[in-house]
Amino acid sequence: MTLRGSAAIVGVGLAGLGEAKGWSAIEIMAASAHAALADAGLTVADVDGLFVTSAFHALPTLSAAEYLGIRPEFFNGSAVGGASFEMHVLSAAMALDAGLCNVALIAYGSNQRTLGGRLMTTLEPQVNEAVYKPRQPISSYAMVTARHMHEYGTTREQLAEVAVAARAWAGLNPAAFTRDPLTIDEVLSARMISDPLTKYDCCLVTDGGGAIVMVRADRARDFPRKPVYMLGAAGAHWHRQIAEMPDLTVTAAAQCGPKAFAMAGLSPSQIDVLQLYDAFTINPILFLEDLGYCAKGEGGAFVSGGALAPGGRLPVNTNGGGLSCVHPGMYGIFLIIEAVEQLRGEAGARQVAGAATALAHGNGGVLSCQATCIFGTGDTL
């Protein structure tokens, strides 16, 4: 028995991307949820499975269910940071397959930018970290970057390629928050935050919400939009705090990536478009290595020469990513929504022609949790 193709996304919604002044986190979450349900031709009255994670709500499914007016038959609010939503796709597919619910809603909303302009977090200080006052999560990613540069000769120019490619995609996406052209030199000469990461090596701090509606595959064609099927999904985590990461250059994507590909029955070269959680420019480099797109240490060379940009050899982060489109604290749900837009063929100027398979790879904590989802159109079943 496999979950491959057992469930499909039949609705997606977005709300408040960028700045949503005057709107609270739960209002943004609910607006995206209603948008996703409308996209699916449903209402909140149809929802009986609820999957929510948020830094704004300690008991996220309770807050969301009360606000929306849902009495869910099944719910899951487990928190693994930004990767929570890729795990929610897997959990929703399991719950749907087991008959525990029939319409699963996954939702997120945040107003962290207009609230305070800083990363919203409820993360507790780590015992042997907090006393040194690292600027988290940036300092953790900075040390990962420094180690990758030390071991493999990865350069700041190669890191900048990731930011420049994301910005070029954002330029094709009217919903992206930062769309002005960006150059390698601008990334390199920008204000250093935590060496070797400059401002442009770090993701945006925005508002934003997103939601997804999933149903069992046997009724996926009864909805107005072209269904996008879950072909594979898996998650893994190896550490919580950065000093405990077994090897700063290898993420748990090396564990969950192959499992997701195995469930999907696909290999990396068979994926048409990739969404890789780019909280920092080092992330896509690490994930391309750990997901099997290049050998360990060759990620820097892999992304060079505009390889990830429009017209490059591999379309990555086609909405502009967390670096240039939206990053409201947890970005995981937006990876999935962009994958769906691409597989529906509705991504406008940024559409990857004929995309039939997509990968959404989530990341949570300080490269702590990794979760990979692989999606496909009906033709891939």
Partner 1 sequence: MSAPANSPILADLSGTGPEATYREHLRAGRFMIQRGLASGRHVFYPRIAAPATGERLEWVAASGLGVVYSTTVVRQRPEAGGDYNISIVELAEGPRTMSQVVGIAPGEVRIGMQVKARIDERDGEPLLVFVATGGQGE
- Nearer residue to partner 1 within complex by CB, 70 or 160: 160
Angle at the Cα of 240 (from 133 to 58), degrees rounded to 5? 85
**Shortest gap between Cβ of 164 and partner 1 (angstroms)?**
22
Distance CA 64, CA 42 (A): 17
Quickly tell me which residue has 């269904």 as its tokens: 227
**Shortest gap between Cβ of 177 and partner 1 (angstroms)?**
24
Distance CA 198, CA 131 (A): 24
- Nearer residue to partner 1 within complex by CB, 131 or 353: 131
- Nearer residue to partner 1 within complex by CB, 244 or 346: 244
Distance CA 277, CA 334 (A): 9
3-state secondary structure of 219: helix
Closest CA to 83 of 315, 343, 336: 336
Distance CA 68, CA 70 (A): 6
- Nearer residue to partner 1 within complex by CB, 127 or 353: 127
**Shortest gap between Cβ of 159 and partner 1 (angstroms)?**
14
**Shortest gap between Cβ of 148 and partner 1 (angstroms)?**
9
Amino acid symbol at 82: G
- Nearer residue to partner 1 within complex by CB, 100 or 146: 146
**Shortest gap between Cβ of 237 and partner 1 (angstroms)?**
14
Distance CA 24, CA 16 (A): 10
Distance CA 23, CA 102 (A): 30
> Token pair of 356, please?
């039939």
Please report, for the chain, how many H helices and E strands are present, in that order.
Answer: 12, 11
Q: Which residues bind partner 1 (CB under 8 A)?
A: 127-129, 131-135, 139, 142-144, 146-147, 150, 191-196, 241-244, 248
**Shortest gap between Cβ of 325 and partner 1 (angstroms)?**
26
Are 291 and 316 spatial neighbours (Cβ–Cβ below 8 Å)? no
By the 10 Å C-beta count (0-12 exposed, 13-18 middle, 19+ buried), 108 is classed as buried
Distance CA 76, CA 49 (A): 8
**Shortest gap between Cβ of 149 and partner 1 (angstroms)?**
9
**Shortest gap between Cβ of 157 and partner 1 (angstroms)?**
19
- Nearer residue to partner 1 within complex by CB, 5 or 299: 299
**Secondary structure letter of residue 202 according to DSSP:** B
**Secondary structure letter of residue 268 according to DSSP:** G
- Nearer residue to partner 1 within complex by CB, 147 or 344: 147
> Token pair of 232, please?
């594979």
- Nearer residue to partner 1 within complex by CB, 101 or 202: 202
Are 54 and 110 spatial neighbours (Cβ–Cβ below 8 Å)? yes
- Nearer residue to partner 1 within complex by CB, 66 or 195: 195
